[in-house]
Amino acid sequence: MRLAHPCLRGRRRHVYHYRSYSGKSRTEIVEAEMSRIRNIGIMAHIDAGKTTTTERMLYYTGFTRALGDVDDGDTVMDYMSQERQRGITIQSAAISFNWRDHRINLIDTPGHVDFTVEVERSLRVLDGAVAVFDASAGVEAQTLTVWRQADRYSVPRIAFLNKMDKTGASLEYSINSIRDKLKTVPLVLQLPIGIEKTFSGMVDLVSMEKLTWTLGPGNDGSEYQTTPLQDVDDAELQERALVERALLIEQLAELDDKMAELLLSGDGTCDLESIPAEEVHMALQRVTCAQTGVPVLCGSSLKNKGVQPLLDAIIRYLPDPQDKGKELEQLYEDSLCAYAFKITHHKQRGPLTFLRIYSGTITPQSTIYNVSRDCTERVNRLLLVFADEYREMASMSAGNIAMVVGLKQTYTGDTLVTSPSAVVSAKKVRGQLQNQGHSISDMGDEDAPVLAGLDVPEPVFFCTIEAPSMSKQQELDAALVNLQKEDPSLHVKIDPETGQTVLSGMGELHLEIIQDRILKEYKLETHLGPLQVAYRETVGGTAQETVTVDRVLGAQKHHAVVTVSVQPVELDGQMRDVGVYFGLDRRTVNREVQTAVKTGIASACTQGPLLGYPVVGAEVTVDSIEVGPGTSLAMVSACAAQATQKVLKKSGGKILEPMMMLEITTDEGHMRSVLADLSQRRGRVTEVQSRAESRVVMAEGYSTAIRTVTSGQATFTMELFRYEEMTSLDQNRLLKKMTTFDVEGF
């Protein structure tokens, strides 16, 4: 028997020395060298068990003395009141702990699609990730989303098949789901022992050991038995393990040249059984970092089984910070370069900025330069984060995740360096590297060497928000400013016609959480208007329009004539902004006038002619510009805006509605109600799957009434898939509903 946190050889028991820290016990965080640091994220579909897995990691590494439970609302990572009430993760939370002389900086991310920006900005700065799967469901809707996000930032991953004790859990189904839906190569490292309620452990195919957990009084999963497979009296299990290990090594040989060379060394024959475990571990590490395959482990976090081998896999297979950000290290060398990936607001401390440090060192009471905003900021305090608690640090170096107090003008996505002179030096180094034929792919700005920002999705829903009284409006405005700074996916604007404040977000839950936070954190009881869909408008055909502006302001005459034409662009379901082109010789028009015309066109396209929604999927061509002497640029811009408004109306506008990708899980008894509701809302069913005792409906459309029509028995996820043109009949119904008159033949 061996202890899972971290074991010593034989049967010796490792004893941790705990210290008290704000009610929690934890081990001292080691000052690890960069090769012993792992910056990882936990990502998954909602309810796959991310937070439970993280809580078990904290317990087995000695960070906490008690096992946190999502249902009991006492987890370390889900510390917001809204998270504990609803039993879901809303904000990403960071924490640091030790495992086998390594330092793991972990970020637990949300699984709900409404908070996908939290996953986006976390993956932007992480070196590796653990994708958690419900072993009875395999790849689910949000799994696909977070996987694509990890692909976007080239984040190596390992997979953890959780809930192996659940009814319907299947290793084979989950592996096929990963292979078919995620288009990757799953590398099975463990075979489960027992199924569903009889699940008791697994066989490690690398070391060929049997790992079993016997839980009971006094054993919370910290201890488990490790038995060499040759000593196990189960010939069938041994035979299956040998076959699966051979398959694993063959897969590695196809993906890794060194493993292929090892197999073919000597007399050219392959002896798969003789391949040492250490060689397999190294091959798995190379394949994982190259993202050509994904190691797959299994367990049951809630039942305290399989978490310690998962921690070992994180250390063995996921990369250290030296493997990422090498281009930055070349540019800034030993000088500070950090990326602000998250902002939170504290009542007493003000803005708290999360930084990923790529090079150099940061210290408190120092001055740093924000390259993105071209301003200097002061670091008042430097903190190491433990979910909602912090520890003062004297300094933090490259490879770490830190929190800084005192940055007033920094926003998510900004790049921070030592000083402006560091930027000048980085430019020189970049120029030298480019002259040598190197490409600097991670630098998003041609002028200043800054890290590329986030890909924040467009909001899909919006509603009005009202303060409890006019005297509280200023407080509400201040609260919304802070919340927008924290959440890049939250948009706030003032309706120019009604003067109302309009919130735009990723979904109904997103906006509800914003309202609840305003109540809990800012003590303001606000009222949300009805939830509305964020439609888009486009043009129905080609058209041309000329507008002349002749005005005398004071003693100055302003004269401008602008002719523009418009034509539709094939959307293919994608959101394409309006493109502006000049059909005339641009050399005949000075740059200031061109900029004024572009500004006017862009302004006109923010509100379409039908319902005032933004215009997409069109090309506006400036055919001619005539500007009189002394005419102001503002007048030119106004002329271009009027011409654009007229040509958009003349082209025959069309409404685009958002089509959502729905995944609905329900029982057989409610299938008819679900399908009828989707049909009523013009939804399209694309696939119906059987999953254990449930049915899974994949559809395109929109519905928030699923829980109502199934009496709360169904669960569903909804994610923006594309925008689609409405039929003439549906468009006229919508226009009639929203404008209170029939616009047939508009």
The length of the chain is 746
Distance CA 117, CA 110 (A): 9
Mean pLDDT for back-to-back runs of 10 residues, the chain (746 residues) = 34 29 42 84 89 91 82 72 71 87 89 81 91 92 88 93 93 95 95 91 94 77 88 90 93 92 68 84 95 96 94 95 68 86 86 90 93 92 85 89 92 90 82 70 57 77 90 93 91 84 88 91 91 87 92 86 90 72 80 92 91 90 91 93 94 87 79 82 81 76 65 68 86 82 39
Return the SS3 of 230.
helix
pLDDT at 142: 84
Assigned token pair, 640: 């271009």
Hey, how many other C-beta atoms are within 10 angstroms of the C-beta on 525? 11
Backbone angles phi, psi at 393, to 5 degrees: -125, 145
Hey, how many other C-beta atoms are within 10 angstroms of the C-beta on 437? 6
Task: Report the amino acid identity of residue 588.
Answer: T
**80 Cβ contact list (under 8 Å, min separation 6):** 90, 91
Taking a C-beta distance cutoff of 8 angstroms, is the pair 636, 642 a contact? no
- Cα 517 to Cα 82, 199, 491, 521, 526: the distances in Å are 8, 41, 16, 6, 11
| Burial (CB count within 10 angstroms: exposed 0-12, middle 13-18, buried 19+), residue 720 | buried
How is residue 216 annotated by DSSP?
B
Hey, how many other C-beta atoms are within 10 angstroms of the C-beta on 189? 26
pLDDT at 387: 80
How is residue 380 annotated by DSSP?
-
Exposed e or buried b per residue across 4-18, where buried means at least 16 C-beta atoms within 10 angstroms of its C-beta: bbbbeeeeeeeeeee
Structural element, H or E, at residue 726: none
| Burial (CB count within 10 angstroms: exposed 0-12, middle 13-18, buried 19+), residue 632 | middle
Q: How far is CA 666 from the centre of its chain?
A: 27
Q: How far is CA 660 from the centre of its chain?
A: 18
Task: Report the amino acid identity of residue 172.
Answer: E
| Burial (CB count within 10 angstroms: exposed 0-12, middle 13-18, buried 19+), residue 623 | middle
Going by C-alpha positions, the residue among 20, 275, 256, 46 that lies closest to residue 146 is: 46
pTM: 0.78
Distance CA 36, CA 321 (A): 9
Residues forming a β-bridge with 739: none
- Cα 678 to Cα 671, 687, 693, 708, 730: the distances in Å are 11, 13, 22, 13, 16
Distance CA 662, CA 683 (A): 9
Q: How far is CA 3 from the centre of its chain?
A: 35
Distance CA 298, CA 160 (A): 5
Taking a C-beta distance cutoff of 8 angstroms, is the pair 149, 123 a contact? yes
Distance CA 662, CA 682 (A): 13
Backbone angles phi, psi at 235, to 5 degrees: -65, -35
Going by C-alpha positions, the residue among 254, 298, 273, 271 that lies closest to residue 208 is: 273
Return the SS3 of 11.
coil
Going by C-alpha positions, the residue among 305, 306, 304, 325 that lies closest to residue 314 is: 306
Return the SS3 of 154.
coil
**261 Cβ contact list (under 8 Å, min separation 6):** none
Going by C-alpha positions, the residue among 718, 704, 600, 589 that lies closest to residue 648 is: 600
Taking a C-beta distance cutoff of 8 angstroms, is the pair 128, 39 a contact? yes
pLDDT at 495: 82
Structural element, H or E, at residue 258: helix 257-263
pLDDT at 183: 93
Distance CA 697, CA 386 (A): 40
